[in-house]
Structure 1
């Protein structure tokens, strides 16, 4: 099970929400290491599948995004995007980021270039649907996700062989992704180079 329901959630909550069992609060670095280790456990159970189905990875991202929203306390008064709500959601935001990063790396190691592109663009959409926090610095994790996904896309583009029709489709999708973050621009430039459109770069961007 790739979700953070069940045992995964219990272990995360045990580490993050029970101070009597952990007198010293976890630092962000320790928490990131914890989340990464839990997701690697998930992956170790799934790696017997030769090529993870994109649908399975999509369900994983859907569940992790949903868990972010479930973790945000409901408030009839005031903002539910303030620092208090961000702290509640942070472990689940981190789980989302690590999932994007680690599953993308699994696909890269397997040289599943087309799957890397599809997974990264799908994860890009889910990243754009994460909460927008009141404090600008709290949105840094979203930008980190975009940066990771853009790096995965760029690597895949540099290694894959694209039919012209597939290249044009990807270019359209990458330009749509640019509406969320400029991190995708190097990917657009690389794909235009591949398609022989480098001379139009300045006009298109």
Structure 2
């Protein structure tokens, strides 16, 4: 309430907006009349009132202060300002008495970065590969980049003596350190120099040992079952279980195919047939999934083993007893894959030749 005094301060207070309604008429502005020239509206005012000139003290303060930035920014002005600062430090004076000009190193120092960029504009390397003409044979020499940073020096290769010191230890110990390729090359050179030894090596050559191959297949098969869920409440042949074991299934299939190809390349045909029956039992022991597309690894393994068997029957000269034994064993595999029938027909045709 206006004019009321509070007991604490003893001042008179009034409402904040008490006198505003009485002054609203004075605050109205007509925006339809643009102000074009103040001199025309008030010609009697002196020019110094419309644009007051700064005082001498203010001019002195402005001159002593920092230089103001230009109103319109230009990169050329900033580049020139920065280049003049760097040129006073880096670029030596041309005709300074008492100094000798440094030797030219092939590239003259420029006063501004802009000139340095324009200097090698014609030899600039394109950044995008589509602009490089790789059909030109001189392209690698044309765009050769020389880095000012020294690269790592090339590794110095020590010259190996052509004559290797003869190994004086046991021969079986020395052969364990050689790779299969080294052993093959060594035996091949010996048989070329001594042809009579080749017949002895053929007589003493044993059949391939399939025990390491079986151990590797057994290890990979155990990884498949270890990856399956152990809870009794979850299924071990559904899609989530397959997703957990898919990596191990792929590793098992890859190992099986690589081992079979190694035996095929060695042309031990009877060992190839033995490997087919050995690996077939491990493939049969893998899980059968609820979703049929998930059994693709299993079918591909069976198909690869059938191809190995067909190759050994076509290229190998197996005797009659081996063919009969193989036919009897293949009869038990028809339930896993119908393509086994092709191997059985091929064996029956071979047995007709012995009659």
Common fold by TM > 0.5: yes
Aligned partner of 1:191 among 339, 344, 347: 347
1:111 is matched with which residue?
267
1:162 aligns with 2:318: yes
Q: Could you list the per-position Cα deviations for residues 124-181 of structure 1 after superposition, in whole angstroms to 9, with x for gaps in the alignment?
A: 1111110011111111110010011100110001011222221111100111111211
1:175 is matched with which residue?
331
TM-score for the superposition, normalised by structure 1: 0.70
Q: Within 5 Å, give how 1:127-138 maps onto structure 2.
A: 127-138=283-294
Q: Within 5 Å, give how 1:9-20 maps onto structure 2.
A: none
Please give the root-mean-square deviation of Cα atoms over the aligned residues, in Å: 2.0
Q: How far apart in 2 are the matches of 1:120 and 1:135?
A: 27
1:83 aligns with 2:225: no
- Which has the greater radius of gyration? 2
TM-score for the superposition, normalised by structure 2: 0.41
**CA separation of 1:59/1:166 partners in 2, compared to 1, >3 Å: closer, same or farther?**
same
2:308 is matched with which residue?
152
1:65 aligns with 2:224: no
Q: How far apart in 2 are the matches of 1:126 and 1:102?
A: 15
Moved over 3 A (4+): 45-52
Higher normalized helix content (fraction of residues): 1
Q: How far apart in 2 are the matches of 1:56 and 1:78?
A: 35
* Cα displacement (A) at 1:52: 4.7
Q: How many residues align?
A: 153
**CA separation of 1:47/1:66 partners in 2, compared to 1, >3 Å: closer, same or farther?**
farther
Q: Gapped runs of 5+ residues in structure 1?
A: 1-44, 198-205
Larger relative contact order (C-alpha < 8 A, sep ≥ 6)? 1
2:251 is matched with which residue?
95
Q: Which moved more, 1:99-108 or 1:178-187?
A: 178-187
